[in-house]
Structure 1
Amino acid sequence: MKPCLVLVWLVAGAASTFVEKRIVGSQSCKRDYHVDITSVQKGKHCGGALLNTRWVITASHCAEQEVKLKFRQKLFIWTAEQKIPREQQFTYQDEEDEGKPHDIMLIKLSKDVSAKLSTISYNRKDCAEPEEYADVEIGGMGAKKAGGKLENEVRCATTQMTQCGENDKPDSKYSSNKAAVMCAFKPAVESCFGDAGTAVVYKEKLHGVIVSQPVDKCAQTIVMLNICHYIEWIEKTMKDN
């Protein structure tokens, strides 16, 4: 019997290597504003947040090419789907930094989605970064099953605001404006590959977008961009386009 038990343990261990953890320390989300974003050419998979029936916010590195967006009407149920060309993707350009892009993007949908879909709002006035140690909610797509198939359930976790370390910043392709970058850390809560672009929520309002993009292992300190820094750009982009 012992050899059989050893064999079973080895098989189970091998199978576990095919499971990709995402938003470690998570639970089921209570709201459905999350958007699933994948590149048509494959290779990219992220999240986003539905601001209204025509606009989605995410991280720039999640797109910058033709992408496919999926929306949810109820937990576990993905409804509408749209392909979005590069021309309908708007990345923030930092005029004070020679036009260098920030890792934040607005995506204009080709047509309005149902008004029944949940959206996330932000503070247009008096927007302020959550204080250090404040609890914030982050989201992601849950675990990848063996064989690479994603679970349908969006997962959420609570983490805490913290000070950013020297290396806690967006990819070097993007500006690392300290006024716009914020971080979160909580033991046993991690953001993994595929969780970038998802919303950071504080007191039921959108306050950030995850820009951490780990490949080989999950990020314990989660790097985010502060929505308060971009309110004017968000409003203007949606109005002008």
Structure 2
Amino acid sequence: MMKHQPVSHLKRSTSRRTMMKLCCVLILFLAGTASGNIEKRIVGSTSCGKERQYHVKIESVQGGRSCGGALLNTLWVITASHCAEQKVKVKIGVNNDVSVFTKLASFIKGSSKKLEQVITTEKQFTFKNEDGKPHDIMLIKLNEGVSAQLPTIRLPSGECKRPELKKDVRIGGMGPKTAGAKPESQVRCATTQMFECGENDKPSVKYHSDETTTMCAFKAGVGTCFGDGGSAVEYEGFLHGITISDPTDTCAHHIVMLDICFYMKWIEETMHK
């Protein structure tokens, strides 16, 4: 005659099976989340930590576009032209090394409003040739000056020279792998190397490009993704380039940038407006 197991034993067995199923689901969920995080970022990157605290996020008010930029001083942001040319929301301090309590205090004082400003096209300045052809570089003037305590990126001092081939440069951004995907919640950083530009390494045909303005970088396993356009290229602690690569469906390992040295005079003159 078959013996029945005690009810308490059956309950324990059912409970163990339920827990095992829950653990399996949790492991699969975490694995999927980790996989998603690897997909949605500058390829070959790590968390910036305390680096790139000058990073600015630029979003189209109408939606559909997100870019990077860099805070130059209390009133000016530099980015790529294709990142704006319409009403945009500029978010400053996205990688600031401040505590939750400091952010809360700023919110209570109302100063946090300065860190998120909607900028119209009247305050967006694109560099143009004498014949009116635009370049993919832009200065944005904020509606209201931010605190001088906020970290900014330094422009090259003295004679400005483009980094030589094979020199390491730092890139960063918050772009996802493809258009429409959710952007990264934190700024990611990576190191790539100056590299000769290929025939197809150019900005959009809408913008001017030649060897005096355009430079490139390449390193196996490192690339920029959709939404990383407009982000700063840093060399030896100074701003030396603006990323203009902005692939839609894949990440770019040959990174196209504009050489800041070519635009130094324009930057200085524009910021005096």
Which TM-score band (shorter chain)?
0.7 to 0.9
| Counterpart check, 1:61 vs 2:82 | yes
Structure 2: unaligned runs, 5 residues or longer:
1-20, 104-111
Residues 54-203 of structure 1 correspond to what in structure 2 (within 5 A)? 54-72=75-93, 74-75=96-97, 79=112, 80-95=115-130, 98-141=131-174, 148-203=181-236
Task: Using structure 2 for the length normalisation, give the TM-score.
Answer: 0.78
Task: Name the structure 1 match of 2:42.
Answer: 23
Tell me which of 251, 255, 258 is aligned to 1:225: 258
Task: Name the structure 1 match of 2:16.
Answer: none
Structure 1: unaligned runs, 5 residues or longer:
none
Change (3 A) 1:131 1:18: closer
Q: Which has the larger radius of gyration?
A: 2
Q: Contact (CA 8 Å) 1:137, 1:200: kept in 2 or not?
A: yes
Amino acid at match of 1:66: K
| Secondary structure at the counterpart of residue 61 of structure 1 | helix
**Alpha-carbon displacement from aligned partner over 1:212-238 (angstroms, at most 9, x marks no partner):** 010010001000000000000000111
Q: Contact (CA 8 Å) 1:19, 1:148: kept in 2 or not?
A: no
1:74 and 1:230 map into 2 onto residues whose CA distance is 27
1:181 and 1:155 map into 2 onto residues whose CA distance is 24
Task: Name the structure 1 match of 2:109.
Answer: none
Q: Contact (CA 8 Å) 2:225, 2:247: kept in 1 or not?
A: yes
| Secondary structure at the counterpart of residue 223 of structure 2 | coil
Q: Contact (CA 8 Å) 1:193, 1:214: kept in 2 or not?
A: yes
Change (3 A) 1:114 1:214: same
Q: How many residues align?
A: 231
| Secondary structure at the counterpart of residue 189 of structure 2 | strand
Higher fraction of strand: 1
**Alpha-carbon displacement from aligned partner over 1:147-180 (angstroms, at most 9, x marks no partner):** 9443331111000000000000101000012201
Task: Provide the aligned C-alpha RMSD in A.
Answer: 2.7
Q: Contact (CA 8 Å) 1:163, 1:182: kept in 2 or not?
A: yes
| Secondary structure at the counterpart of residue 236 of structure 1 | helix
Amino acid at match of 2:165: E
Q: Contact (CA 8 Å) 1:22, 1:194: kept in 2 or not?
A: no
Change (3 A) 1:26 1:14: closer
2:129 and 2:196 map into 1 onto residues whose CA distance is 23
